[in-house]
Structure 1
Amino acid sequence: MNIKNNIVNYISSNNYKPMTKEELALEFNIGIKEYRDFFKILKDLEKEGLLYRTKREKYVLTSSEGLYKGTLQGNKAGFAYFIEENKSISDVFISKDSLNGGKHKDRVLIRILVDEKESRSAEGEVVKIIEESKTPIVGTYKDSKQFGFVIPDDSKYGFDIFIAKRDKNGAKNNDKVVIKLKDTVKNGKSPEGIITSVLGNKNEKGVDISSIALEFQLPYEFSNKLLEKADKVPQKVSKEEIKKRKDFRDLFTVTIDGEDAKDFDDAVSIDKKGDNYILYVHIADVAHYVAKGSALDREAYKRGNSVYLLDRVIPMLPKQLSNGICSLNPNVDRLTITCKMEINPKGKVVDYKFFESVVNSDYRLVYEKVSDILENKSDYYNDDYLNNKLRIMAELFEILKDKRKNRGSIDFNFVESKIILDENGKAVDVVKEERRVANRIIEEFMIVTNETVGAHFGYMEEPFIYRVHIEPSKEKVLQFKNIIKKFGYFLKGQDIYSKDFQKILEDVKGKPEEMLVSTLLLRSLSKAEYSLEPDIHFGLSSMFYSHFTSPIRRYPDLFIHRILKNFIHNKPNTKNIKAYLEMIDEVAHHCSITERRAEEAEYEVNDMKMAEYMEQHIGEEFEGIISSLTNFGIFVQLNNGIEGLVQYAQMKDDYYTFNQESYIVVGETRNKMYNLGQQVTVKVIDASSSRRQIDFEFIN
């Protein structure tokens, strides 16, 4: 047991009386020379929120003082909500006067002042800031003669930042800037800050998206030193390397991707052997070019994944690799790792083998054009041999899709919203983008490959990174059950399986509430993440699942490639198994964090650009459905996927409240009700790309 656990256990004991750090040092027989290290451990336990130091400088357990640790989520009005880390209590309202220097995204300890039973929501006060948010504050600079101020892009900060003339560092009026606060926020007073960098005028092309990238601390540029190393990577495959590999260059091989794709991780080949299908999935051998522990590898790990922000990609690897030698471009030799699978007519993988290989792609195909061929709409490529191969792929897709469906895999068929930008980077349209048959073929082929790789190492019980998706919490399932009852759908029994959710999706298919119920179901599920320990993938109804097929844009895939290459060559992964397991656990945790960061940044960019598009439509009316009900207002989704908020404060005909148990919004005087899925007409009364918000009002 380590010293941290010993300290916590000692302070947890019934006989413990609050002690100062010096008294604790004596109790633990800490020598004077070791005081500094011991005091640092106590400070770390404070930061972790396990211990609390009273006004008399004595240490007690946080839990014994009735304190909770978590994160503040601010509001533009100046107050905040406290979100407890373990979700053991509901969100707690923190008034502006009770923040005590805490701000949006800070980790804090709070004390409950008013219990939830006594009020509409619990109220509390911040008693300690455990850790100030390290997220850079990005905003718009407003200049005046003697000083300036910055309006944060994220309105949840609830304050503007005063900038002294000496601290504006060349910023001009309406420039997007990054600010560092000089001091802790003081209640009722605008904090003072210093501008650390200037991104450019807020109206310049791309500055708005760059500001979000900075806000989420996305590593935007590669260092010159790293780019020099990338320049030294050969851009042709050597004959010597080809001789060492399985040569699949004579196989008819294609890539199928979106029109705008620049990097190609995967290519496929297909044949038939009697009634069975032989599927080859060739994945770019990035590990050959990015050596473990190299500068390129360290940078790829730091980034964790590529990030896609509408008009740009923030890549995990420099373009010399991602768009160059690693990308499976047509008509050039490329190094790959191939998973060759034999699949029977029931969709079972009856045999498989892994190869270090070389391929030469015959076609760079596009989803839309392949879908047109398979749906008999047009034949863009005019190649009978290609068309025959595509038909075989479509056959296998149907088999694999049906097999997944029968085992209970949840198959969402969302229509995505696509934001169209003009040459100046401005949003000019938002349209629906279908997930057509070609997209689904490649998805299905990648799923079966990832399952094959995951199961291989799962059954071998080798150290590995799994993609896990645990079953949803009982609370979320109960909430989902209560909501879908309103539409006449039911989940039966206490234990819930993915097949139960899939049945709901089948029942709502083609009905007006399909999109809403699908969205609510998705919200009820847990987040998928990476893990050292194997566990179910609830959504896919799969026991062992991995991410193997995208090493150009995801670090876990690159990591798994190294494990697979060692297996192919019968080499051990490590001599120190304990350190190796700890390292895999750290990689899994880190990549889960970078993935969430990328998703949040992508959502913010989409919200901003949708709001920018709706700025052109203020005063116009639209049809939509109620997509979400909250304590502060009603969200309405339009037919193109854009979502806006009707605030209760804007609903002048009555005083409305949200009844969480029955999941309806009711007017206190007239009993007028608003339900999920209800068809409504709304008017756009405001839209702001800087606030990333769209405001509607109901048209009766």
Structure 2
Amino acid sequence: MKADILQILSQESLKKSQLRRRLCKAKGDQEHFNRALADLKREGSIKKEMGGKFSLQELEVKTGILSLSVGGYGFVNPIDKSTTIFIPPNKTGAAVNGETVEVSITEQSKKGPVGQIINILESKLESLSGQLQIRKGQPWLIPLRTGIPAVELSVESVPTETKEGDWIRAKLVSRDTQTGKITASLSQSLGNADDLTAEIDAIIDEFDLQSEYSDEAEEAASRIRQRKIARRDLTKELITTIDPRDAKDFDDALSVHPAKNKKHITIGIHIADVAAYIGPRSTLMTSIKKRAFTAYLPGRMLPMLPKVLVSKRCSLIENEVKPAHTVMITFDRESGEVINFERFHSTIKVRKRLNYQEVQDYADANFSGDPWGKDVCKDVKTLYEFSHTLRKRREEIEQFIPLDAPEVRVMCDPVTMTINSLKKDSPSESKQMVEEFMLAANTVVAQELTSKAAPGLFRIHPEPDEEQAASFSVDANTFYGVSPGDITLRPNAIRFLNSIKGHPSAPAISMDFLRTMQRASYSSMKGLHFGLGKNLYSHFTSPIRRLADLLVHQQLWNMEDKGGPVYTKDRLDDLAEIINTREAVTDEAYRTTVNRFKLHYVEALEAGDSELECDALITRVSVKKMRLYIPHYGMYANVNFRDLDSDFFDADVEKGLVVGRRTGTTWSCGDTLEVKILGADFKMREFMVMPIVEGNKAPSQKARPERKKKEAPTERFFDELLRKKKAQAKANKNEDTDKPPRKKKRTRRPKKKR
């Protein structure tokens, strides 16, 4: 029927009634016709013109990679680098994040093209993990991944002992891109709903993160012998590590050395020499490439390397002799300019292990006293003060983007798997001190690779997308009353970010600004790093937790040991693609875990707890609701106007304004509200909140009374239904027999024509 409709409309435009008369010849054709016409309209194959006529839709089809949001909508970035296409929630065609899809553009909105997914070219979905839900006797899987609809499970695949809310894994059976329906069969039960360990296991399973190495793999790693290469003995030098208090691995250390010229200073950056144990052809490289990063989830660390290498063989542990890869950089003391640098393999012995908080407290106390001995304290003071010189030079010469986005971390006990607290992780000057020297080492290593014409792996970060930047500028001006200008130009972006410091809506504006930034990635081609303001940059300083750094170490090792690179440019291109994919997946798994654990944390708070009342910023206003950002938790929430008891609110979406009809209460984007947290919405991964306003009854977002769960239809149910129908039919028949018979109308015979 679909083919027949398309065939007719390819010749002329017709109304529905005209099409029906041509195609519906037999009994039952009309039902098939209506269904086929509706399907073609939904698929975008046909369109309804003015006057009610149907015609073929001239579709523009694009190919790109899908990125889904929590709300179910998504965006497709076309491969041809054309404008990003918005995909509404009901048009995603059951595709998932990262899949290559075909999109038909159905309309052009004010903000750009809108489309629907018509085909999945590269599938990445074989199984899904989530929670079991029962609806009217039908089991469903509620996926962990963002934007994926509920998955229908086959009844026979769900064991009777599996309870609603349990964490499960299901194998994909079918996907319909037209209806968006996904079906699957349960393949594994992962744990019960209240177990955070089971929840972490489900997240690891869903995002295909590799679990910890097996005992056999750990045993094999412990037997790896250190590879030999010429090394300098630096064990007598004063070398210090400075890391977070809860650091699990120590892959960098610092030292201060006198230079021949008194106007200069030499800083030693010493990096754990992982390549001394893992060469390019090591059997471990297969497992390492599957991970590409160490995943730091709340309460669980999934190391890129076997633990025996992380904690014993490679980490720069205090008072232990370790192999290192050293970069000695000589700077001008006054300006921070790099005079020269030297890279070599070494043997070092860390004299003192410090953490960021200790160093920051020492600096805040104006470096008074000698808490770690005179020599260590002298070096720490020198490093701290000189790092300010380096940062000032980067501000003036490289003009890095000064984006301050504090992160709210979840502090979870790894043994008991209980959430102890939330901690705002603001960048301290002691942490920035270490980062300055790591940035310097990464930069000079990239320069060495380039100067020797050796294939390298570089970190690149493109300028913001012009359309997204323009949209952000309009929104920031309209909603917050600030004028960013063209933020694709570095001076404008820096000026704007400095201007909003101290602004009451700065956290929300910074988050919106961050969204305009494109994702940084790895490439064998050198290029701009917009965020850092560098045209040449590599990752070298974290080989314990990042594959990209390890590959650079292996390349430099081979150049020094064998006289040439071990990786070709094409091979590095392939490895960069693997690393970029794993980085995106690892980041999404981390965000999913952190957000869900924050929701668990709030759910566990008792009524009246002070943390249930906090400030929130209005970031968006729509016709029916407003979106809030809660800095204390680093989370978002929506407030529906219909749930506010204090007044009836009208919204001016274009101005970002909300006005109460009775009270005249006015809210606008950028305003700060005091809100009460009522609960957690795990489906949308956000808090349920209510503004604390006189007249609002708490809890205002009323919990709807639970409906009685309907039991699944049984054989007895159908027997009873059939009995009632037969009884009704019999009653109707008896009623008809009691009525007097109708007189038959006499029909006149037509007169014969004479």
What is the TM-score when the length of structure 2 is the normalising length? 0.74
- The aligned residue for residue 321 of structure 1 is 309
Q: Provide the C-alpha distance between the structure 2 equivalents of 1:122 and 1:657, rounded to a whole number of angstroms.
A: 24
How far the C-alpha of 1:217 sits from its partner, in A, is 1.0
- The aligned residue for residue 383 of structure 1 is 373
Q: Is the 8 A contact 2:94 2:149 kept in 1?
A: no
- The aligned residue for residue 431 of structure 2 is 439
| Equivalent position amino acid for 2:341 in 1 | Y
- The aligned residue for residue 412 of structure 1 is 403
- The aligned residue for residue 597 of structure 1 is 585
- The aligned residue for residue 710 of structure 2 is none
User: Per the alignment, do residues 105 and 520 of structure 1 end up closer, same or farther by CA in structure 2, a change over 3 Å counting?
Assistant: closer
- Partner residue of 1:259 out of 217, 234, 245: 245
Q: Provide the C-alpha distance between the structure 2 equivalents of 1:491 and 1:145, rounded to a whole number of angstroms.
A: 52
Matched, 1:67 2:50: no
Q: Provide the C-alpha distance between the structure 2 equivalents of 1:103 and 1:538, rounded to a whole number of angstroms.
A: 29
- The aligned residue for residue 305 of structure 1 is 293
| Equivalent position amino acid for 1:311 in 2 | G
- The aligned residue for residue 136 of structure 1 is 127
| Equivalent position amino acid for 1:207 in 2 | A
How far the C-alpha of 1:363 sits from its partner, in A, is 1.2
Q: Provide the C-alpha distance between the structure 1 equivalents of 2:689 and 2:137, rounded to a whole number of angstroms.
A: 39
Report the secondary structure of 2:205's partner residue: helix
Q: Is the 8 A contact 1:420 1:427 kept in 2?
A: yes
- The aligned residue for residue 189 of structure 2 is 198
- The aligned residue for residue 642 of structure 1 is 634
How far the C-alpha of 1:264 sits from its partner, in A, is 0.7
Matched, 1:395 2:388: no
Q: Is the 8 A contact 2:459 2:520 kept in 1?
A: yes
Q: Is the 8 A contact 1:446 1:549 kept in 2?
A: yes
| Equivalent position amino acid for 2:147 in 1 | K
Q: Provide the C-alpha distance between the structure 1 equivalents of 2:438 and 2:88, rounded to a whole number of angstroms.
A: 45
- Partner residue of 1:562 out of 546, 551, 554: 554
How far the C-alpha of 1:631 sits from its partner, in A, is 8.4
The equivalences for 1:295-374 within 5 A come to 295-345=283-333, 346-374=335-363
- The aligned residue for residue 688 of structure 1 is 681
Superposed CA deviations along residues 455-501 of structure 1, whole A, max 9, x for unmatched, are: 22234433111111111122233233334445565455x68443432
Q: Is the 8 A contact 1:94 1:125 kept in 2?
A: no
Superposed CA deviations along residues 637-679 of structure 1, whole A, max 9, x for unmatched, are: 22414323224465652454643xx6x2556989987544221
- Partner residue of 1:161 out of 146, 152, 157: 152
- The aligned residue for residue 747 of structure 2 is none
Q: Provide the C-alpha distance between the structure 1 equivalents of 2:354 and 2:628, rounded to a whole number of angstroms.
A: 38
Q: Provide the C-alpha distance between the structure 2 equivalents of 1:391 and 1:130, rounded to a whole number of angstroms.
A: 57
Q: Is the 8 A contact 1:162 1:190 kept in 2?
A: no
How far the C-alpha of 1:598 sits from its partner, in A, is 1.2
Superposed CA deviations along residues 268-321 of structure 1, whole A, max 9, x for unmatched, are: 111233232110001111111012122211211221111110111111111011
User: Per the alignment, do residues 633 and 553 of structure 1 end up closer, same or farther by CA in structure 2, a change over 3 Å counting?
Assistant: farther
User: Per the alignment, do residues 353 and 186 of structure 1 end up closer, same or farther by CA in structure 2, a change over 3 Å counting?
Assistant: closer
| Equivalent position amino acid for 2:439 in 1 | I
- The aligned residue for residue 170 of structure 2 is 179
- The aligned residue for residue 276 of structure 1 is 264
What is the TM-score when the length of structure 1 is the normalising length? 0.80
What are structure 2's unaligned runs of at least 5 residues? 1-42, 46-56, 694-754
Q: Provide the C-alpha distance between the structure 2 equivalents of 1:83 and 1:603, rounded to a whole number of angstroms.
A: 21
- Residues 308-317 or 156-165, more deviating: 156-165
| Equivalent position amino acid for 2:387 in 1 | F
User: Per the alignment, do residues 116 and 410 of structure 1 end up closer, same or farther by CA in structure 2, a change over 3 Å counting?
Assistant: closer
User: Per the alignment, do residues 680 and 356 of structure 1 end up closer, same or farther by CA in structure 2, a change over 3 Å counting?
Assistant: same
User: Per the alignment, do residues 121 and 467 of structure 1 end up closer, same or farther by CA in structure 2, a change over 3 Å counting?
Assistant: closer
Report the secondary structure of 1:203's partner residue: coil
- The aligned residue for residue 503 of structure 1 is 495
Q: Provide the C-alpha distance between the structure 1 equivalents of 2:330 and 2:98, rounded to a whole number of angstroms.
A: 50
- The aligned residue for residue 587 of structure 1 is 575
Q: Provide the C-alpha distance between the structure 2 equivalents of 1:642 and 1:491, rounded to a whole number of angstroms.
A: 23
Q: Is the 8 A contact 1:469 1:537 kept in 2?
A: yes
- Of structures 1 and 2, the larger Rg is shown by 2
Q: Is the 8 A contact 2:94 2:148 kept in 1?
A: no
Report the secondary structure of 2:147's partner residue: helix
Q: Is the 8 A contact 1:102 1:185 kept in 2?
A: no
How far the C-alpha of 1:508 sits from its partner, in A, is 2.7
How far the C-alpha of 1:443 sits from its partner, in A, is 0.7
User: Per the alignment, do residues 691 and 513 of structure 1 end up closer, same or farther by CA in structure 2, a change over 3 Å counting?
Assistant: closer
Report the secondary structure of 1:157's partner residue: coil
How far the C-alpha of 1:81 sits from its partner, in A, is 4.8
Q: Provide the C-alpha distance between the structure 1 equivalents of 2:595 and 2:370, rounded to a whole number of angstroms.
A: 35
Q: Provide the C-alpha distance between the structure 1 equivalents of 2:339 and 2:562, rounded to a whole number of angstroms.
A: 23
| Equivalent position amino acid for 1:698 in 2 | P
User: Per the alignment, do residues 73 and 351 of structure 1 end up closer, same or farther by CA in structure 2, a change over 3 Å counting?
Assistant: closer
Report the secondary structure of 1:249's partner residue: coil
Report the secondary structure of 2:336's partner residue: coil
Coordinate RMSD, CA, aligned? 3.6
Superposed CA deviations along residues 317-376 of structure 1, whole A, max 9, x for unmatched, are: 110111120111111111111000101121111011011111011111111111111111
Q: Provide the C-alpha distance between the structure 2 equivalents of 1:100 and 1:495, rounded to a whole number of angstroms.
A: 34
- Partner residue of 2:450 out of 450, 458, 471: 458
Matched, 1:91 2:95: no
- The aligned residue for residue 292 of structure 1 is 280
Instruction: Tell me the matched-pair count.
Output: 623
How far the C-alpha of 1:111 sits from its partner, in A, is 3.5
Aligned identity (percent) is: 24
User: Per the alignment, do residues 631 and 259 of structure 1 end up closer, same or farther by CA in structure 2, a change over 3 Å counting?
Assistant: farther
How far the C-alpha of 1:571 sits from its partner, in A, is 0.8
| Equivalent position amino acid for 2:408 in 1 | S
User: Per the alignment, do residues 482 and 74 of structure 1 end up closer, same or farther by CA in structure 2, a change over 3 Å counting?
Assistant: closer
How far the C-alpha of 1:146 sits from its partner, in A, is 8.4
| Equivalent position amino acid for 2:60 in 1 | G
User: Per the alignment, do residues 299 and 142 of structure 1 end up closer, same or farther by CA in structure 2, a change over 3 Å counting?
Assistant: same
How far the C-alpha of 1:565 sits from its partner, in A, is 2.1
User: Per the alignment, do residues 481 and 163 of structure 1 end up closer, same or farther by CA in structure 2, a change over 3 Å counting?
Assistant: same
Q: Provide the C-alpha distance between the structure 2 equivalents of 1:594 and 1:311, rounded to a whole number of angstroms.
A: 21
- Partner residue of 1:698 out of 691, 694, 710: 691
Report the secondary structure of 2:627's partner residue: strand
- The aligned residue for residue 529 of structure 1 is 521
How far the C-alpha of 1:70 sits from its partner, in A, is 4.6
How far the C-alpha of 1:228 sits from its partner, in A, is 3.8
Q: Provide the C-alpha distance between the structure 2 equivalents of 1:123 and 1:467, rounded to a whole number of angstroms.
A: 32
Q: Is the 8 A contact 2:465 2:488 kept in 1?
A: no
How far the C-alpha of 1:190 sits from its partner, in A, is 7.3
Q: Is the 8 A contact 1:372 1:379 kept in 2?
A: no
How far the C-alpha of 1:265 sits from its partner, in A, is 0.7
User: Per the alignment, do residues 122 and 684 of structure 1 end up closer, same or farther by CA in structure 2, a change over 3 Å counting?
Assistant: farther
How far the C-alpha of 1:403 sits from its partner, in A, is 0.5
Q: Is the 8 A contact 2:168 2:190 kept in 1?
A: yes
User: Per the alignment, do residues 81 and 630 of structure 1 end up closer, same or farther by CA in structure 2, a change over 3 Å counting?
Assistant: farther
Q: Is the 8 A contact 2:102 2:120 kept in 1?
A: yes
Q: Is the 8 A contact 2:142 2:149 kept in 1?
A: no
- Residues 548-557 or 496-505, more deviating: 496-505
| Equivalent position amino acid for 2:130 in 1 | G
How far the C-alpha of 1:386 sits from its partner, in A, is 1.2
Q: Provide the C-alpha distance between the structure 2 equivalents of 1:297 and 1:459, rounded to a whole number of angstroms.
A: 28
| Equivalent position amino acid for 1:479 in 2 | S
Report the secondary structure of 2:568's partner residue: helix
Q: Provide the C-alpha distance between the structure 2 equivalents of 1:131 and 1:547, rounded to a whole number of angstroms.
A: 30
Superposed CA deviations along residues 43-92 of structure 1, whole A, max 9, x for unmatched, are: xxxxxxxxx9x9xxxxxxxx985223456677999x75563535625413
What are structure 1's unaligned runs of at least 5 residues? 1-51, 55-62
Q: Provide the C-alpha distance between the structure 1 equivalents of 2:500 and 2:379, rounded to a whole number of angstroms.
A: 34
How far the C-alpha of 1:445 sits from its partner, in A, is 0.8
How far the C-alpha of 1:209 sits from its partner, in A, is 1.8
Report the secondary structure of 1:195's partner residue: strand
How far the C-alpha of 1:452 sits from its partner, in A, is 1.1
